Amino acid sequence: MHCLVPLKGKNKPLHTADGSMSLYSMEYHEGYRAKSVGAYTESLHKFYHASCIGELLKKQDVRLLDICLGGGSNLSVTLDKIADIDTPYKLHIVTVERQASLFETIMDTPYLWPLRGYNILRELIVNANHKNVRLDIAIGDAREILSKLMWSFDVIYFDPFGKRKNPEMWTVEVFRQLHRLCSDKAKVVTYSSGKVIRQDFVAAGFKFTSTPKPEGAFQEGTVFSKE
């Protein structure tokens, strides 16, 4: 059967449970966001709300480390939500991603949602600044990039593919780098609630709680912190 939409690169559109679109990686054979949860819903609950980043931005400048950009859902949902927050404070985002082609994909894919959040992300990709938000992009292997970063972060979105497909990112060594990069009150949020993953974060010096979730909803994620 012929493809109606000519596919460019290694990703194809993924229609997810809440109606929002994400991407499916033909390299990793996995969706960038969980099809069964919904791309928008998962980013909203397991990353934006779980990290309390909106509340923090009302009180102080915030540095966000986004590991890994992927289809940009976590950042776009965050940018969409904070666009409604009236604050004098600044958000500085550093995003890390090994596939440089994803920036082009985000620029060229109009159906990604939320539209406003993605439009702000596109502007940040081109101009690095939008109102009170600055974006720095680091392309390469996150393990190497993290080991060289010297800033500290208030929020870390930790979002590689699952451990089976992306084992090099779910190691105690990587979690120790995250610990080094966290400010004292920082939160590291991830979609995973895996027992071994939680144990390995604890071995790296973290405590954890489960992500609050709407009743009857999807599997919980995890919030890690130093305190």
Ligand X SMILES: C[S@@+](CC[C@H](N)C(=O)[O-])C[C@H]1O[C@@H](n2cnc3c(N)ncnc32)[C@H](O)[C@@H]1O
Footprint on this chain of ligand X (rule: CB under 6 A): 32-33, 43, 68-74, 96-99, 102, 141-143, 159-161, 166, 168-169
Amino acid at 55: E
Query: In the complex, what is the shortest distance from the CB of residue 127 to ligand X, in angstroms, rounded to a whole number?
Result: 21
Q: Which is nearer to ligand X, 140 or 214 (CB)?
A: 140
Query: In the complex, what is the shortest distance from the CB of residue 8 to ligand X, in angstroms, rounded to a whole number?
Result: 16
Query: In the complex, what is the shortest distance from the CB of residue 15 to ligand X, in angstroms, rounded to a whole number?
Result: 15
Q: Which is nearer to ligand X, 56 or 146 (CB)?
A: 146
Q: Which residue is nearest to ligand X (CB)?
A: 70
- H-run or E-run covering 198: helix 195-203
Contact 39, 20 (CB under 8 A): yes
Q: Which is nearer to ligand X, 118 or 201 (CB)?
A: 118
3-state class of 142 per DSSP? helix
What span, in angstroms and rounded, lies between the C-alpha atoms of 212 and 50?
7
Query: In the complex, what is the shortest distance from the CB of residue 197 to ligand X, in angstroms, rounded to a whole number?
Result: 14
What span, in angstroms and rounded, lies between the C-alpha atoms of 221 and 89?
28
**Where do the DSSP E strands lie in the chain?**
11-15, 21-25, 30-31, 62-67, 91-97, 129-130, 133-139, 153-158, 182-190, 207-210, 222-225
Query: In the complex, what is the shortest distance from the CB of residue 40 to ligand X, in angstroms, rounded to a whole number?
Result: 10
Amino acid at 146: L
Contact 120, 91 (CB under 8 A): no
Q: Which is nearer to ligand X, 97 or 200 (CB)?
A: 97
Query: In the complex, what is the shortest distance from the CB of residue 26 to ligand X, in angstroms, rounded to a whole number?
Result: 12
3-state class of 93 per DSSP? strand
Place of tokens 């392309």: 139
What span, in angstroms and rounded, lies between the C-alpha atoms of 149 and 132?
22
Q: Which is nearer to ligand X, 109 or 179 (CB)?
A: 109
Q: Which is nearer to ligand X, 60 or 140 (CB)?
A: 140
